[in-house]
Amino acid sequence: MTALLTAEFRKVLGLRYWWILGIAPVVVGLFSGALTLPLARQVEDIVGEGFASAVAAAIGIALALALVFLFAALFGAVNGGTEFQHRTMVTTFLTTRGRDGVIAAKYTTAAAFGLLYCVVVEIAAVLTVLMFAGGDGGTSTGSDLGQLAAVLGAGVLCAVLWALLGSGLGLLTGSTVGSVLAISAWIPFGELIVSLILHGLGLGAVADLLPVQLTWYTIVGVIDIPETGDMAVGWPAAPIALIGWALLICALGWWRVRSRDLA
């Protein structure tokens, strides 16, 4: 398994898409804290002291995480479908004992890079928030720091799951272009359209269980914002349901690769 992982990482590092996909989230992470913190301080007198330094940091990082999830999923899709696109999957299987190890290595690689993207972006966002908060009279309590840490942890979990969702979809379809287009359409507006249709049909409970919705329930669920209504799906149901989506798509991708005729 170690040899398979080494080979998979070398394949990824030998191409440029892994760092190209990471540029946009890092840039947003650098600017999200700088933009969110001043806006939050404008309403600090209304909401209460300490609002800016805690909640603005959480929301600013959440904005950066939105792109992390998208690009982690895109990385997984590209990594999962590239070998089918270039017709090198047969060679990969012939040099290993079976397909299961190759699939597991691809999922592990996708999860690792999803985690890497998220950690780098979170570090950039937190450093920016701290830099712009310095010397401005903001106060941070242990509760504030705990809340921020919870957001960071939830973000890492979601990034890993979205990388696995993308990888599973890439293996399921065997198409890099198709998977990338599906993810690029679904995350920004596709799920919103489907959700509106489901609500119109009286199936709002089903709409709440869609993956993007569950992702934000997972992130927002750890932020203690005053006077917010109860979420349709709270903790720990939201992350568990999102894990279920990742397991389902990964299982379908695994099944499709095992049953696909690659001749």
Average pLDDT, the chain: 79
* Nearest residue to 148 via CA among 59, 72, 233: 59
Check whether 100 has a pLDDT greater than 80.
yes
Check whether 144 has a pLDDT greater than 80.
no
Identify the pLDDT of residue 196.
93
* Contact between 148 and 54 (Cβ < 8 Å): yes
Choose between 48 and 196: higher pLDDT. 196
Which token pair is 157? 């979990």
If one counts every other C-beta atom within 10 angstroms of the C-beta of residue 230, the result is: 5
Check whether 116 has a pLDDT greater than 50.
yes
Check whether 221 has a pLDDT greater than 50.
yes
- Mean pLDDT of all residues in 32-56: 55
* Contact between 207 and 199 (Cβ < 8 Å): yes
If one counts every other C-beta atom within 10 angstroms of the C-beta of residue 232, the result is: 15
3-class secondary-structure state, position 51: helix
Identify the pLDDT of residue 23.
74
Question: pLDDT-based confidence at 262, cuts 50/70/90?
Answer: low
Evaluate the CA torsion angle 114, 115, 120, 122 in order and state its sign: positive
Identify the pLDDT of residue 79.
85
* Nearest residue to 60 via CA among 31, 84, 89: 31
Identify the pLDDT of residue 98.
74
Identify the pLDDT of residue 135.
47
Identify the pLDDT of residue 137.
46
Any idea which residue has 């903790």 for tokens?
Answer: 235
